[in-house]
Amino acid sequence: MKDYKFDTKAIHSGYEIEKSTHSVVPPLYLTNAYQFDNVDHAQSLFELKEEGNIYTRLQNPTNDILEKKISELEDGVGALAFSTGHAAIFNTIINLAENGDEIVSSNQIYGGAINLFGVTLERLGIKVKFVNPNNLDEWENAVTDKTKAFFFEIVGNPNASVVDIEAVASIAHKNGIPVIVDSTFTTPYLCKPIHYGADIVIHSATKFLGGHSAVMGGIVVDSGKFVYKNNKRFPRYNEPDQSYHGIVFADLKETAFIARLRALIMRDIGASLSPFNAFMLIMGIETLSLRMRKHCDNAKRVAEYLLSNPNVSFVNYPSLENSPYKNLADKYLSNGCGSVFTFGLKGGRETGKKFINSLKLFRHVANVGDVRSLVIHPATTTHSQLSSQQLIDAGISEDTVRLSIGIEDIDDIINDLEQAINIATNK
């Protein structure tokens, strides 16, 4: 499929018509275990000498289609599907870091990820240093001998701040550190982080990839470009792994990370994706580019409308002329800036509350990336477990309202916003 363009790959990649069933749509295999040809075959599968299905925690034919599809769309060498985006993040981190190690992360990320990093990883002995992703000195100064990865979102949650991927990646690579990018808000249709130096790309497939808020899932894609062999930061990759027949994962070269993630971490932690959800996500990705184009068109129109409304105090959308991220958006997001962003109403918290309560079409939920338009007040919900300093660092104020613009008719979306703004501001 390599020579085809994105829209074609989104539909066809990852699946060849099955010789036995001739099914055109990728089949859903609700299956756990797979018969071995004989004892030698079983042994060779267990020793990773041969590829094949053993048990669905490790591989499943439907999950395999999803993994190959997203890996091709991101130009990676392999992918692994997880039960949720959070599981994808946690398992990626523990494939690189352990007790005593450090991660450097952007402070403008998903609220749940800030908790995962600051609370649970901390308790496991993995220290996460948070930095302002647009201050390159902070990344540089946070590096120590123990640093095992850089982590950021290209378009940050919730304010749609854009990170200079190439600049951050060059600091990481100069220090022999891999770069993890959470590309949930962008999807491979808007940005392919691997082209700009990302080594590992993560998606909460729950959002735009599935697209319809029906199933949860997470995906990790490996660029295959990071060299673990003889890298002093990664002794585990360079010594024989006694829990896996003495295999040296770094010797697998470009698949070292993703093979270890599956063979060791998925084997032991087991946060695998249900094949049913994999099937739903495959269906979602088939229409990804159509949906993303409409999401981005609608979001841009809404951002421009809000900017022109005298009751609005600020709008954070990267492609607006007044955005501090306009240049970075032009460079990295030429297909559009996504549909998740924030704005505020003059009058602060109470006006914002009245506004959300007055919306009719928008769904008031803790979610993004749905075909439906969504709204939430981050300071009291998605980011409510953050300290007041963390809220300031993440750029969230009392009056910040987060929107995730859907693919309904733009007139209906804007009319709904307008009537709610009018009620909230007593017009």
Supply the DSSP symbol for 417: H
> Chain-centre distance of CA 240, in angstroms?
32
Closest contact distance (angstroms) between CB of 305 and ligand PLP is 24
Answer whether 237's CB lies under 8 Å from 206's CB. Answer: no
Please say which residue, 126 or 421, places its beta carbon nearer to ligand PLP.
Answer: 126
Closest contact distance (angstroms) between CB of 183 and ligand PLP is 8
Please say which residue, 81 or 172, places its beta carbon nearer to ligand PLP.
Answer: 81
Closest contact distance (angstroms) between CB of 232 and ligand PLP is 30
The interface with ligand PLP within residues 362-381 (CB under 6 A) comprises: 368
Q: Where does this chain touch ligand PLP (CB under 6 A) — which range of 6-14, 93-101, 182-190, 228-236?
A: 182-190
Q: How far is CA 44 from CA 56, 187, 234, 254, in A?
A: 17, 36, 27, 21
**106 is an interface residue for ligand PLP by CB under 6 A:** no
Closest contact distance (angstroms) between CB of 185 and ligand PLP is 6
**85 is an interface residue for ligand PLP by CB under 6 A:** yes
Please say which residue, 53 or 284, places its beta carbon nearer to ligand PLP.
Answer: 284
β-strand partners of 247:
241
Please say which residue, 112 or 178, places its beta carbon nearer to ligand PLP.
Answer: 112
Size of the site for ligand PLP (CB under 6 A): 17
DSSP letters along 63-118, please? HHHHHHHHHHHHT-SEEEEESSHHHHHHHHHHTT--TT-EEEEESSS-HHHHHIII
Please say which residue, 218 or 275, places its beta carbon nearer to ligand PLP.
Answer: 218
Please say which residue, 15 or 325, places its beta carbon nearer to ligand PLP.
Answer: 325
* Number of neighbouring beta carbons within 10 Å of residue 349: 16
d(CA 394, CA 161): 10
Please say which residue, 97 or 374, places its beta carbon nearer to ligand PLP.
Answer: 374
DSSP letters along 329-393, please? HHHH-TT---SEEEEEETTHHHHHHHHHHH-SSSEE-S--S-SS-EEE-GGGTTTTTS-HHHHHH
Choosing from 64, 101, 153, 222, the residue that interacts with ligand PLP (CB under 6 A) is 153
Choosing from 9, 86, 127, 383, the residue that interacts with ligand PLP (CB under 6 A) is 86
Closest contact distance (angstroms) between CB of 219 and ligand PLP is 10
β-strand partners of 363:
374
Closest contact distance (angstroms) between CB of 237 and ligand PLP is 26
What size, in residues, is the chain? 427
d(CA 23, CA 41): 28
Please say which residue, 192 or 207, places its beta carbon nearer to ligand PLP.
Answer: 207
Q: How far is CA 285 from CA 4, 63, 222, in A?
A: 16, 13, 19
Please say which residue, 192 or 233, places its beta carbon nearer to ligand PLP.
Answer: 192
Choosing from 72, 182, 199, 222, the residue that interacts with ligand PLP (CB under 6 A) is 182
**342 is an interface residue for ligand PLP by CB under 6 A:** no
Close Cβ partners of 413 (under 8 Å, ≥ 6 residues apart): 298, 302, 361, 373, 405, 406
The dihedral region occupied by 48, where left means phi > 0, alpha psi between -120 and 50, and beta the remainder, is left
The interface with ligand PLP within residues 112-131 (CB under 6 A) comprises: 112-113
The per-type count for the chain, helices as H runs and strands as E runs, is 18, 12
**207 is an interface residue for ligand PLP by CB under 6 A:** yes
Please say which residue, 102 or 182, places its beta carbon nearer to ligand PLP.
Answer: 182
**218 is an interface residue for ligand PLP by CB under 6 A:** yes
**184 is an interface residue for ligand PLP by CB under 6 A:** yes
Angle at 53 between CA 56 and CA 3, to 5 degrees: 105
Residues that bind ligand PLP (CB under 6 A): 84-86, 110, 112-113, 153, 157, 182, 184-185, 204, 206-207, 216, 218, 368
